Amino acid sequence: MKTTHAITMIALVGAAAVGGYLMLGKTADETATAAPGAPIVTVALPAQLSENAQIGKRAYEAKCAACHGVNAVGQEGVAPPLVHKIYEPGHHGDLSFQRAVKFGVKAHHWRFGDMAPVEGLTEGDVVMITRYVRELQRENGIF
Q: Which residues contribute to the site for ligand HEC (CB under 6 A)?
A: 63-64, 66-68, 79-80, 92, 96-97, 100-101, 105, 107-110, 112-113, 115-116, 118, 121, 129
Identify the sign of the CA torsion 115, 116, 118, 123.
Answer: positive
Cβ distance to ligand HEC smaller for residue 85 or 109: 109
Choice between 46 and 99, CB closer to ligand HEC: 99
Q: Least distance in Å: CB of 112 to ligand HEC? A: 4
Residue 13 or 66 with smaller CB distance to ligand HEC: 66
Distance, in Å, from the CA atom of 71 to the CA atom of 81, rounded to the nearest integer, reads 9
Amino acid at 46: P
> CB of 83 within 8 A of CB of 136?
yes
Whether 76 and 36 have beta carbons less than 8 Å apart is answered as yes
Min dist. Cβ of residue 39 to ligand HEC (A): 15
Alpha-carbon distance 111 to 99, whole Å? 20
- Tell me whether residue 7 or residue 35 sits nearer to ligand HEC (CB atom): 35
Q: What is the Cα gyration radius of the chain? A: 23
**Distance of alpha carbon 99 from alpha carbon 137, whole angstroms:** 19
Q: How far is the CB of 28 from ligand HEC (least distance, A)?
A: 27
